[in-house]
Copies of this chain bind each other. A is one copy, B any other.
Amino acid sequence: MARRTGRVTATDVAKEAGVSQTTVSYVLNDVPHQKISEQTRRKVLDAVAKLGYKPSAAARALRLGRSDLVLMFLPDVPVGGTLTALVELLGDELERHGLNLVTRRERHAPLESLWRELMPAAVMTTFDVSAEDVASMRAAGIHVVSAGMGPTVDPGVLTIPQHLIGTMQVERLAATGHTLIGYAAPGDPRLQGFLTLRLDGARAACAERGLEPPVVLEVPLDISAAAAAAEHWHSAVPAVTGVCAYNDETAFALLAGMRRVGLSAPGDLAVIGVDNDKLAPFAMPPLTTIDNNLDVVVGRAARMIVSGVTGRSLPAPPQVTPLSLVVRESA
């Protein structure tokens, strides 16, 4: 018989239930315009349960021309906590809808070979992908959701408003009386894209309030360098009194550098981070930061992907800004 592989197939189920394999498929997929009697449906379902039948993802993918994989392209950046958490949450959420998340870093360049090979149901990108790449994926029936950070053309785009992050940081500092603001840029050049957007947001916020544009210094993850930057800001005339850090890591480094040269936050220099890192409450002093409410973002992303793939439209996403200020002590 067909018992060479040990796999339980739809044919086995059909035999057990005494119906055709076609019927099994109809029952399991709840095919719209097929009338199946309750009795037959029951028989099939019982057989499925009895035999422990699980449809083969490969066979289904071959037939349908697409798999249940969702391909997520990540920027080639030492992944920060936020992106990691996003991946994790998104994976869980997609799983609930029968989709499997596969992540890939943008580096081993050819996106195309990968999606042609895997035939994913959807692709999600976290950086900007060329319009032609997007077009050819769409043409191949793949749902593309772009969380790219740039000014995207895609109407169905999901964007974490990077520039708003910078804006909110400046808002906080301005609200607490700071008039000359610094910006701590990360050392890693691969973060340039995000940096530009966040910094633009900060610049705009300063301009809007009639403040000088932020004084940008690089603060790599190195205490000495961070200390030098801190002194530079502090001893400038007029002095910078509040700093927006690119993210919480940078903020931690800056705070450590400040300690090295005897400066303290927020007295000498207020510091505000981004990400609400798990360790932010335990910084010295506890770090004020911007939380990008990931559950909101993930919820939206998952909805876009799932509704795109299944064709069903899901309940509209709540219109919540996925950013919030977490005030602690550092700013």
Question: Which residues on A are within 8 Å of B, measured CB to CB?
Answer: 5-7, 52, 54-59, 61-62, 65, 67, 69, 79, 81, 84, 88, 91-92, 95-96, 100-105, 108, 112-113, 116-119, 139-140, 221, 223, 249, 252-253, 255-256, 259, 277-279, 281-284, 286
- Given A62-B56, A117-B55, A284-B259, check contact A279 B100 (CB 8 Å): no
What would 28 A/B residue contacts be, using CB atoms closer than 8 Å? Answer: A54-B113, A54-B117, A56-B119, A57-B61, A57-B117, A57-B118, A58-B58, A58-B59, A69-B102, A81-B81, A84-B84, A91-B104, A95-B108, A96-B108, A100-B102, A101-B102, A101-B103, A102-B102, A221-B278, A221-B281, A221-B282, A223-B286, A249-B278, A253-B282, A256-B281, A256-B284, A277-B279, A284-B284
Are A91 and B103 closer than 8 Å at their CB atoms? yes
Residues of B within 8 A of A119 (CB): 56-58
Are B6 and A282 closer than 8 Å at their CB atoms? no
Are B62 and A58 closer than 8 Å at their CB atoms? yes
Complex-state Cα separation, A255 to B283, whole angstroms? 9
A155 shortest CB reach to chain B, Å: 24
Q: A54-B116, A57-B61, A95-B104 are in contact. List 5 more A-B contacts (CB 8 A).
A: A56-B62, A57-B117, A84-B84, A84-B88, A253-B282
A95 shortest CB reach to chain B, Å: 7
* Set B5, B58, B103, B282: member contacting A223, Cβ < 8 A: B282
Complex-state Cα separation, A139 to B5, whole angstroms? 10
A190 shortest CB reach to chain B, Å: 15
Are A59 and B62 closer than 8 Å at their CB atoms? yes
A229 shortest CB reach to chain B, Å: 14
A330 shortest CB reach to chain B, Å: 13
Residues of B within 8 A of A253 (CB): 282
- Given A58-B62, A92-B105, check contact A281 B6 (CB 8 Å): no
Residues of B within 8 A of A256 (CB): 281-284, 286
Are B5 and A249 closer than 8 Å at their CB atoms? no
Are B62 and A67 closer than 8 Å at their CB atoms? no
- Given A58-B58, A259-B284, A282-B223, check contact A100 B84 (CB 8 Å): no
Residues of B within 8 A of A283 (CB): 256
Chain B residue at smallest Cβ distance from A96: B108
Complex-state Cα separation, A91 to B102, whole angstroms? 9
Complex-state Cα separation, A206 to B133, whole angstroms? 60
Are B118 and A100 closer than 8 Å at their CB atoms? yes
Residues of B within 8 A of A101 (CB): 102-103
Complex-state Cα separation, A282 to B67, whole angstroms? 45
Complex-state Cα separation, A218 to B253, whole angstroms? 28
Complex-state Cα separation, A130 to B249, whole angstroms? 40
Are A279 and B58 closer than 8 Å at their CB atoms? no
A34 shortest CB reach to chain B, Å: 23
A322 shortest CB reach to chain B, Å: 20
